[in-house]
């Protein structure tokens, strides 16, 4: 188990180095670019298999206990240790990261975004995976910070070099926001380490803030919380997100929404709740207030983008929806109750599955139509996906309904548990205030349903006319049509032929089916996830005591 966890964290990094080296002659094949893409699929597949084996070997009877631990002294002068371990909180996030990265590598093998060398693309994706997995596995504050920062550079280049329009501006805004937040976060981490005498997250969680004064905890929560809130992203520190998602390639958007945003909320749960509980209690009402403003703001922004004539970009709309969904995660954390925190962790995983699937689908629609503009999709091109690509349209409708929180799908449980947690927050928090936040959050679910149903109606439904203007993918070469025999029976003008889009391809089905299946599984059997997180959360909130 120790070896497996170390392998899961280090293997993508070694794979990134190998991707940049010349391929051995026997592995080059006819196309060196395809060889390096195969390398990416192989490495991410091996990491996924190792993570699944790790999950199977995990002691599910004791999910609150740190398992597969490695603890080696690294910098004795600062008491910095290479300390790795997983429990019921981090294991689901490891699995989600390994799964999404493998699916992105598989998708890219068949649909590589336009840009520079595939070698660089594969190496950056693997470095991104290694940094994300390390963030969820390390148990030392300074190592957490290093892993947290490790993902910034690869994501910057994925947006700046393989992205679409306005990619340079979006990439710069992304890295400036996150770097500035990280500088403040580092100060908070150093404050905790110097005042407590250790950076070990397990020891600090067991102390439960007893070695830190209230004023130190308040300052630490403010500093670390700002850095985590930028990555989450929390309103009003979210403005980098829509541009980054809109400009990023499809796999970049999937990894950004499905994995990177979870690093911020994971930090709130793993670091601030157990290590500085008094400081969190001071800021919890403000965190909840920002969270519910984000829920409503994100939904209203989506409604504005979805209306006719707004020229709203579908990728931008899904990005704004993430602001609202992550608002529910922050609200659950702010309640400081087992119910609310479990809801936040469930919503984290559900958002990764559903929004990852949505970005895959929107990328496929953009590839087919050449645009993600909602007015164009619903207008002259005759989107009507149900008629032109029925399986693609049905899957988009499924993902949209899952995103709005339909009971029986993964999106429902996280939001419901979060609202229940807000109804009865932790002792010392204002119950009237949190019940007000609960009411505002519940109103946000109605707004979410409204914009998601508008998107489905505009993109999937509508009159499907044979005279719709075809996209470049729809036009067959004239030479391949062949001449129509003069006077042939049943002959009809080409304009009468109903234009069709390419429906879901085999590689797309392979990349998307696991996400749809897990969305259903988590919705119908939430105990699979809650059985892991609840004991760990109970121990975390009790100050390291089971």
Angle between helices 167-196 and 240-247 in degrees, nearest 10: 130
- Give the model's pLDDT for residue 473: 44
In this structure, are residues 142 and 189 in contact, taking their beta carbons and an 8 Å threshold? yes
**443 vs 546, higher pLDDT:** 443
pLDDT (tens digit per residue) in 373-420: 888 887 655 567 787 788 998 999 999 999 998 999 999 999 999 999
Q: Residue 519 has which token pair?
A: 């969305």
Q: Residue 262 has which token pair?
A: 């979870």
- pLDDT class of 14 with cuts at 50, 70, 90: very high
pLDDT (tens digit per residue) in 144-173: 999 999 999 999 999 988 888 788 888 898
Q: In this model, does residue 472 exceed pLDDT 80? A: no
Dihedral Cα 34, 39, 45, 47, nearest 10 deg: -150
Share above pLDDT 90 across residues of the chain, in percent, rounded to a whole number: 53
Is residue 444 exposed (0-12), middle (13-18) or buried (19+ Cβ within 10 Å)? buried
Angle between helices 431-460 and 410-423 in degrees, nearest 10: 160
Q: In this model, does residue 488 exceed pLDDT 50? A: no
Q: What's the rounded mean pLDDT across residues 106-117?
A: 87
Classify each residue of 378-404 as buried b or exposed e, where b means 16 or more C-beta atoms within 10 Å of its C-beta: beebbbbbbbbbeebbebbbbbbbbbb
CA distance 161 to 174: 14
- Give the model's pLDDT for residue 146: 93
Q: Residue 188 has which token pair?
A: 């908070």
CA distance 497 to 88: 55
Give the DSSP per-residue string, 219-237: HHHHHHHHHHHHHTTPTTS
In this structure, are residues 103 and 93 in contact, taking their beta carbons and an 8 Å threshold? no
Classify each residue of 51-76 as buried b or exposed e, where b means 16 or more C-beta atoms within 10 Å of its C-beta: beebbeebeeeebbbbbbbbeeeeee
- pLDDT class of 25 with cuts at 50, 70, 90: low
pLDDT (tens digit per residue) in 259-302: 999 999 999 999 999 999 999 999 999 999 999 999 999 999 99
- Give the model's pLDDT for residue 30: 62
pLDDT (tens digit per residue) in 333-371: 999 999 999 999 999 999 999 999 999 999 988 888 888
Peptide bond just before 236 cis, omega within 30 deg: yes
Sign, Cα dihedral of 403, 404, 409, 414: positive
Place of tokens 């709203």: 312
Q: In this model, does residue 28 exceed pLDDT 60? A: no
- pLDDT class of 486 with cuts at 50, 70, 90: very low
pTM of the model: 0.88
């Amino acid at each position: 188990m120790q070896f497996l966890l170390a392998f899961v964290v280090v293997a993508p990094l070694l794979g990134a180095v190998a991707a940049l080296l010349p391929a051995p002659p026997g592995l080059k094949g006819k196309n060196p670019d395809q060889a390096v893409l195969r390398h990416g699929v192989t490495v991410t597949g091996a990491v996924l298999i190792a993570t699944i084996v790790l999950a199977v070997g995990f002691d599910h009877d004791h999910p609150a206990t740190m398992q597969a631990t490695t603890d080696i002294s690294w910098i004795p002068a600062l008491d910095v240790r290479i300390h790795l371990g997983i429990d019921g909180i981090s294991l689901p996030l490891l699995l989600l990261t390994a799964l999404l990265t493998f699916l992105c590598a598989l998708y890219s093998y068949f649909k590589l975004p336009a840009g520079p060398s595939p070698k660089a693309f594969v190496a950056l994706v693997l470095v991104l995976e290694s940094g994300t997995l390390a963030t969820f596995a390390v148990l030392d504050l300074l190592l957490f910070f290093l892993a947290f920062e490790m993902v910034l550079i690869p994501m910057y280049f994925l947006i700046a070099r393989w992205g679409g329009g306005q990619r340079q501006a979006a990439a710069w805004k992304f890295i400036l926001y996150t770097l500035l937040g990280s500088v403040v976060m580092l100060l908070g981490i150093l404050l905790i380490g110097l005042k407590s005498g250790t950076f070990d997250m397990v020891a600090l969680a067991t102390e439960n803030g007893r070695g830190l004064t209230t004023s130190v905890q308040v300052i630490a929560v403010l500093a670390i919380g700002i850095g985590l809130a930028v990555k989450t992203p929390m309103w009003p520190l979210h403005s980098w997100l829509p541009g980054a998602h809109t400009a990023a390639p499809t796999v970049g958007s999937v990894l950004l929404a499905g994995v990177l945003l979870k690093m911020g909320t994971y930090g709130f749960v793993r670091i601030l709740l157990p290590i500085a509980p008094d400081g969190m209690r001071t800021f919890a009402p403000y965190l909840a207030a920002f969270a519910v403003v984000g829920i409503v703001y994100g939904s209203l922004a989506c409604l504005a983008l979805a209306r006719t004539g707004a020229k709203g970009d579908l990728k931008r709309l899904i990005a704004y929806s993430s602001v609202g969904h992550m608002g529910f995660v922050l609200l659950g954390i702010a309640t400081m109750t087992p119910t609310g925190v479990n809801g936040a962790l469930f919503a984290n995983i559900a958002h990764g599955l559903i929004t990852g699937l949505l970005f895959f689908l929107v990328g496929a629609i953009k590839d087919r139509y050449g645009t993600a503009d909602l007015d164009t999709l619903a207008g002259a091109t005759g989107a009507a996906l149900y008629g032109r690509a029925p399986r693609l349209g049905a899957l988009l409708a499924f993902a949209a309904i899952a995103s709005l929180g339909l009971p029986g799908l993964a999106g429902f449980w996280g939001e419901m548990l979060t609202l229940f947690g807000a109804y009865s927050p932790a002792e010392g928090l204002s119950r009237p205030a949190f019940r007000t936040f609960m009411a505002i959050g519940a109103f946000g679910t109605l707004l979410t349903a409204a914009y998601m149903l508008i998107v489905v109606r505009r993109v999937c439904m509508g009159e499907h006319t044979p005279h719709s203007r075809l996209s470049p993918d729809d036009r067959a070469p004239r030479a391949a049509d062949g001449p129509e025999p003069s006077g042939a029976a049943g002959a009809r003008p080409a304009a009468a032929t109903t234009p069709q889009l390419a429906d879901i391809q085999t590689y797309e089905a392979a990349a998307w089916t696991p996400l749809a299946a897990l969305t259903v599984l988590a919705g119908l059997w939430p105990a699979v996830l809650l059985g892991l997180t609840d004991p760990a959360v109970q121990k975390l909130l009790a100050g390291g005591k089971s």
